[in-house]
Amino acid sequence: MHPRILLLAACLLLPGLSRAAEVSVAVAANFAAPMLKIVQAFERGTGHRAIVALGSTGRFHSQIRQGAPFQVLLAADERTPRMLEAEGLAVPGSRFTYAVGRLVLWSATPGRVDAQGEVLRRGGFERLAIADPRLAPYGAAAIEVMERLGVLKALSPRLVQGESVGQAFQFVATGNAALGFVALSQVRALPPASPGSAWVVPADLHTPLRQDAVILRPGQGQPAALALVRFLQGDAARAIIRDHGYGP
């Protein structure tokens, strides 16, 4: 037998090599820290490889409509995956909630944010960072909170918007904003020596941040895409998700 044919036959017999594949997944920026650990566990456990893009859910929606070849979307809301199903851009019946997020008012400065969030009324800061509410569900939730508290009008001139909650977090981390509305998972990922100060926003002050995943049309029938979705619903991924401050 020709040596190249022998090599191909040997590869096909090796467990993992014949099944290994790549999955391209678009992931909401708030989920960056847990996704890194999930991908590591997924790749170790399955032999597949995950190529991750991080960004705002609204931006991903636009890119998917324009033909971006993502196979799986992990959104920061439940509305976008549902819309993609209705638009014929996602596999029907593949949508599920993988996490419920928590919103946090955070400052890199210890003691700046009090445990009740009264700093929003008290003031004493120039800039407040939020994610763009037109693109990012965490930004929309931040607007809801400020409306409920009756401080939105007063704080509007101080708002600085990032495209995603990841960018809003960076504004605060680099000192370009004194404080900002970010995801609890981002604060949980900080080194213990530099947590700053934070107020975990009561969940009843905004619409629940249910985060849905869905298989997109390019991922239909693809082994790695199906394996990633199964892995996200398994015990190992759920433990990571809980550890980063998300609800089930």
Q: Summarize pLDDT for 115-131 with one digit per residue, the tens.
A: 999 999 999 999 999 99
Nearest-CA neighbor of 70 among 186, 228, 183?
A: 228
Same domain, 92 and 160: no
Q: How confident is the model at residue 19 (pLDDT cuts 50, 70, 90)?
A: low
Report the pLDDT averaged over residues 5-9.
Answer: 36
* 173-188 pLDDT per residue, tens: 999 999 999 999 999 9
What pLDDT sits at residue 191? 87
Same domain, 115 and 89: no
Is 173 in contact with 195 (CB distance < 8 Å)?
no
What pLDDT sits at residue 17? 43
Q: Give the strand pairing for 49-55 and 128-131.
A: unpaired
Same domain, 75 and 86: yes
Report the pLDDT averaged over residues 37-64.
Answer: 97
- The three-state secondary structure class of 182 is strand
Q: Rounded to an integer, what distance in angstroms lies between the CA atom of residue 16 and that of residue 89?
A: 30
Same domain, 91 and 113: no
In the block, residue with structure tokens 């969940």: 203
Q: How confident is the model at residue 194 (pLDDT cuts 50, 70, 90)?
A: confident
Structure-token pair, residue 36? 């890194």
Residue range(s) defining the domain that contains residue 96: 3-100+210-243
* 199-216 pLDDT per residue, tens: 999 999 999 999 999 999
More confident residue, 19 or 26: 26
Residues 6+ apart with CB under 8 A from 19: 47, 48, 223
Q: What is the rounded average pLDDT for all residues in the chain?
A: 92
Same domain, 34 and 111: no
What pLDDT sits at residue 1? 45
Structure-token pair, residue 166? 């990841």
Same domain, 145 and 111: yes
Same domain, 47 and 80: yes
Report residue 243: phi and psi, to 5°: -65, -25
Does residue 2 have a pLDDT over 80? Answer: no
Same domain, 188 and 165: yes
Does residue 16 have a pLDDT over 80? Answer: no
Residues 6+ apart with CB under 8 A from 181: 103, 104, 105, 106, 128, 129, 130, 131, 138, 139, 141, 142, 145, 165, 168, 201
pTM of the model as a whole: 0.84
Residue 80 lies in a domain: yes
Which CATH number goes with the domain that contains 19?
3.40.190.10
Does residue 24 have a pLDDT over 70? Answer: yes
Same domain, 79 and 113: no
Is 154 in contact with 122 (CB distance < 8 Å)?
no
Residues 6+ apart with CB under 8 A from 160: 127, 128, 129, 130, 171, 176, 177
What pLDDT sits at residue 12? 37
Query: Which helix (H) or strand (E) element contains residue 96?
Result: strand 96-101
Total domain count, the chain? 2
